């Protein structure tokens, strides 16, 4: 089944706009995806018709909002194949989800001398929270190395696993290089030594099939805005038995059972980890985003984006002086590159003047940039609404940029 790209592009109104007098070519999907009409309509409907607080009200609007909010939880459960709806926690984003686990898992399970394994590929949001937790508990963060292509060295990973390992946390797909990590194998190896495993799925949720039961991961995190939904909404999946043993992350409304000045008892899952009023409209609109992706088909999306990546890699590789950073055998639709004699920020600025949006900088992966021996890169990250014609425009834009510089 081939995708109807024209129809898909019509579903994203922002693609019809111009930037600096040029048609927008949006190649910064790794940072955030554009929003489809069903998501925009869902937000508008909630704020126009159903805006009220949820869970605790007995009036119609509150009850209606609660129903729609919990429908999203059921949709997420099905989308990632969680065993139970109460294993789905709504957060502010991937960063918030990882911080939740780092804080609460450390409090319940981490002791002095324990080790947390992270790979060189990690985003800062999957490094810093673990460093903070390790410092509090007297534990140690251990780096799992990669090769020059940007692939995890599995044999080195095996050597680092041991009785001190309590947690392994890695991304499914690298935001900087596009490397698709062998997380199922890594999870199985971690479990052999009794360690738990967190998957940062921020970059994979919109591009690859996720099945938490098949992976057997203990935790998985992703953000709504990386899968065409609103910003300020995230998901944390956690196995029920672990979530039950972990203390709450924050205190406030909805996460309590009984409160007194002598003692407070906590609500059941998932509410124990959802203190305060959430981004109600955003969570409801996440359902629209997931339904939209499901209507297209994740396998069809994967194939289309793989073909686009192959085409873009071939075209960019022919540009004199351009070097692709990250050449893993198994990659998602992300290409980071540098150009001889050109700073990535200058590349990004000049491409922007041609209507082409790419990301430049260290991409919140400074340890990875150091390992790859570059201070920064320009990054084009593709999605299923991008086209080969846009790749051609990127190539032409880079050639023009080279001439200017």
CATH architecture, domain defined by 5-27+297-404: Alpha-Beta Complex (3.90)
Distance CA 376, CA 379 (A): 9
- Three-state DSSP at 337 gives strand
For the chain, report the end-to-end CA distance as a whole number of angstroms: 43
pTM for the whole structure: 0.97
| Distance in angstroms (rounded) separating the CA atoms of residues 88 and 77 | 7
- Res 137: pLDDT: 97
252 DSSP assignment: S
pLDDT of residue 321: 96
Residue 364 annotated as catalytic: yes
Catalytic-role residue among 36, 104, 217, 364: 364
Q: Tell me if domain 5-27+297-404 and domain 41-294 are identical in fold.
A: no
Cα separation, 401 vs 405, in Å, equals 6
Query: Residues in the chain, how many?
Result: 405
SS3 label, residue 233:
coil
- H-only helix segments in 235-279: 240-245
Interatomic CA distance for residues 20 and 194, integer angstroms: 55
Closest CA to 247 of 220, 263, 267, 217: 267
Coil vs helix vs strand at 160: helix
Indicate the helix (H) or strand (E) that contains 264.
strand 264-266
Could you read off the pLDDT tens digit of each residue along the chain, which spans 405 residues? 589 999 999 999 999 999 999 999 999 999 999 999 999 999 999 999 999 999 988 999 999 999 999 999 999 999 999 999 999 999 999 999 999 999 999 999 999 999 999 999 999 999 999 999 999 999 999 999 999 999 999 999 999 999 999 999 999 999 999 999 999 999 999 999 999 999 999 999 999 999 999 999 999 999 999 999 999 999 999 999 999 999 999 999 999 999 999 999 999 999 999 999 999 999 999 999 999 999 999 999 999 999 999 999 999 999 999 999 999 999 999 999 999 999 999 999 999 999 999 999 999 999 999 999 999 999 999 999 999 999 999 999 999 999 988
State which CATH number among 3.40.630.10, 3.30.300.30, 3.40.640.10, 3.40.50.720 fits the domain covering 41-294. Answer: 3.40.640.10
Residue extents of the structural domains in the chain? 5-27+297-404, 41-294
Q: CA 138 to CA 378: how far, in whole Å?
A: 38
The pLDDT value recorded for residue 1 is: 55
pLDDT digit string, tens, across residues 110-164: 999 999 999 999 999 999 999 999 999 999 999 999 999 999 999 999 999 999 9
Q: Which of 206, 183, 198, 150 is nearest to 333 (CA)?
A: 206
d(CA 158, CA 375) in angstroms, rounded, equals 30
Angle at 135 between CA 132 and CA 140, to 5 degrees: 105
CA-CA distance, 217 to 167, in Å (whole number)? 11
Please, how many CA atoms are within 13 Å of residue 195, restricted to the half-sphere of its CB?
Answer: 26
Backbone angles phi, psi at 76, to 5 degrees: -60, -45
Going through 311-358 in order, the beta strands assigned E by DSSP cover 322-325, 334-339, 356-357
Stretch (H or E) spanning 300: helix 298-317
As a whole number of angstroms, the distance between CA 379 and CA 344 comes to 9
d(CA 116, CA 105): 11
Give the CA angle between residues 313, 317, 318 to the nearest 5°: 130
């Amino acid at each position: 089944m081939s995708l109807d790209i024209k129809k898909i592009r019509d579903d994203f109104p922002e693609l019809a706009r111009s930037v600096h007098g040029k048609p927008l070519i949006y190649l910064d999907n790794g940072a955030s995806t554009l929003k489809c009409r069903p998501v925009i309509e869902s937000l508008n409907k909630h704020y126009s018709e159903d805006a009220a607080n949820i869970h605790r009200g007995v009036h119609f609007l509150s009850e209606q909002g609660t129903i729609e909010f919990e429908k999203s939880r059921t949709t997420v459960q099905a989308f990632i194949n969680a065993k139970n709806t109460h294993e789905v926690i709504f957060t502010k984003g991937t960063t918030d989800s990882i911080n939740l686990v780092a804080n609460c898992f450390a409090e319940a399970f981490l002791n002095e001398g324990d080790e947390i394994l992270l790979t060189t590929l990690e985003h800062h949001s999957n490094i810093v929270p673990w460093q903070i937790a390790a410092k509090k508990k007297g534990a140690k963060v251990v780096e799992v190395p990669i090769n020059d292509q940007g692939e995890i060295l599995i044999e080195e990973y095996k050597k680092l696993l041991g009785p001190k390992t309590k947690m392994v946390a890695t991304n499914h797909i690298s935001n900087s290089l596009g490397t698709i990590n062998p997380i199922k194998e890594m999870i199985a190896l971690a479990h052999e030594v009794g360690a738990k495993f967190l998957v940062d799925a921020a970059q994979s949720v919109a591009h690859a099939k996720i099945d938490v039961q098949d992976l057997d991961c203990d935790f998985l995190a992703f953000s709504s805005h990386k899968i065409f939904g609103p910003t300020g909404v995230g998901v944390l999946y956690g196995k029920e038995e672990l979530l039950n043993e972990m203390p709450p992350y924050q205190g406030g409304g909805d996460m309590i059972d009984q409160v007194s000045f002598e003692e407070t008892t906590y609500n059941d899952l998932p509410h124990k980890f959802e203190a305060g009023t959430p981004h109600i409209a955003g969570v409801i609109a996440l359902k629209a985003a997931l339904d939209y992706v499901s209507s297209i088909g994740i396998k069809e999306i994967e194939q289309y984006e793989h073909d686009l990546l192959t085409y873009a890699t071939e075209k960019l590789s022919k540009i004199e002086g351009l070097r692709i950073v990250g050449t893993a055998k198994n990659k998602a639709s992300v290409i980071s590159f540098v150009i001889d004699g050109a700073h990535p920020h200058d590349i990004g600025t000049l491409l922007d003047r041609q209507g082409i949006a790419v990301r430049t900088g260290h991409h919140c992966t400074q340890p990875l940039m150091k390992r790859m021996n570059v201070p920064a890169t320009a990054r084009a990250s593709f999605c299923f609404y991008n086209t080969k014609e846009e790749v051609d425009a990127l190539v032409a834009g880079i050639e023009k940029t080279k001439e200017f510089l």
